[in-house]
Structure 1
Amino acid sequence: TIEKKTIRAPFAGRLGIRLVNLGERLEAGKGIVSLQSLSPLFVDFSLPQQELARLQTGLKVTAISDSYPDQVFAGELAVISPDLDAVTRSIQLRAKFENADERLRAGMFVKVSVVLPEAQPVLTIPSTAILRAPFGDSVFVISGSTNLTVQQKFIRTGRTLGYFVSVESGLKAGDRVVEAGVFKLRNGMSVVENNETTPKTSQTPNPPNG
Structure 2
Amino acid sequence: MAKRMVVMLVAVVLLISTLGFIKYRQIETAIHASAGFQPPPEAVTTIIAKRQQWPSAMNVIGSIEAVRGVTVSADLPGTVAKINFESGKAVHAGDVLVELDTRQERAQLAALEAQSELARINYGRMQQLAKEGVISQMDYDRSSAEQRQTEANAAEVRATIDRKTLRAPFSGILGIRKVNLGEYLAAGAPIVALQSLNPIYVNFGLPQQNAGQVKIGRRLGVTRDELPGQVFAGEITAVDSVIDETTRNVQVQATLPNPGAKLRPGMFVQVDLALGADHPAITLPASAISYAPYGDSVFVVADLKDAKGNSYRGVRQQFVKLGGSRGDQVAIVSGLSPGEEIVSSGVFKLRNGAAVQVNNKVQPSNNPAPKPEDS
In the superposition, the TM-score normalised over structure 1's length comes to 0.54
1:21 to 180, 183, 197: 180
Give how far 1:53 is off.
Answer: 2.1
2:216 maps to 1:57: yes
Mapped partners of 2:216, 2:261: distance in 1: 23
Mapped partners of 1:54, 1:37: distance in 2: 30
Structure 1 residues 103-157: Cα deviation after superposition (integer angstroms, max 9, x where no partner): 110001101111234479xxxxxxxxxxxxxxxxxxxxxxxxxxxxxxxxxxxxx
Structure 1 residues 26-66: Cα deviation after superposition (integer angstroms, max 9, x where no partner): 21111100111111211110011111221101001111112
| Alpha-carbon spacing, 1:206–1:10, altered in 2? closer, same or farther (3 Å) | same
1:81 to 221, 234, 240: 240
Which residue does the alignment assign to 1:141? none
Mapped partners of 1:119, 1:87: distance in 2: 30
Aligned residues: 127
2:348 maps to 1:206: no
Mapped partners of 2:336, 2:172: distance in 1: 55
Which residue does the alignment assign to 2:171? 12
Percent identical pairs in the alignment equals 45
Mapped partners of 1:204, 1:87: distance in 2: 25
Contact 2:234 2:255 in 1 (8 A): yes
Mapped partners of 2:273, 2:337: distance in 1: 31
| Counterpart amino acid of residue 108 in structure 1 | M
Q: What are the within-5 Å matches in structure 2 for residues 1-210 of structure 1?
A: 4=162, 5-118=164-277, 206=337
Structure 2 residues without counterparts, runs of 5 or longer:
1-101, 107-160, 280-320, 322-333, 341-375
Mapped partners of 1:21, 1:67: distance in 2: 35
Any idea what SS the aligned residue of 2:231 has?
A: strand
Mapped partners of 2:194, 2:214: distance in 1: 33
| Counterpart amino acid of residue 73 in structure 1 | F
Mapped partners of 1:45, 1:118: distance in 2: 22
Mapped partners of 1:48, 1:91: distance in 2: 6
Q: Report which structure shows greater RCO (CA 8 Å, sep ≥6).
A: 2
Contact 1:42 1:96 in 2 (8 A): yes
Mapped partners of 1:69, 1:206: distance in 2: 39
| Alpha-carbon spacing, 1:20–1:51, altered in 2? closer, same or farther (3 Å) | same
Mapped partners of 2:234, 2:277: distance in 1: 18
Q: Which has the larger radius of gyration?
A: 2
| Counterpart amino acid of residue 208 in structure 2 | Q
Give how far 1:12 is off.
Answer: 0.7
Runs of 4+ in 1 over 2 A off after TM superposition: 1-6, 115-120, 203-208
Structure 1 residues without counterparts, runs of 5 or longer:
121-161, 163-202
| Counterpart amino acid of residue 46 in structure 1 | G
Structure 1 residues 148-173: Cα deviation after superposition (integer angstroms, max 9, x where no partner): xxxxxxxxxxxxxx9xxxxxxxxxxx
Structure 1 residues 76-122: Cα deviation after superposition (integer angstroms, max 9, x where no partner): 011111111112211111111121321110001101111234479xx
In the superposition, the TM-score normalised over structure 2's length comes to 0.31
Give how far 1:205 is off.
Answer: 6.0
Give how far 1:70 is off.
Answer: 2.2
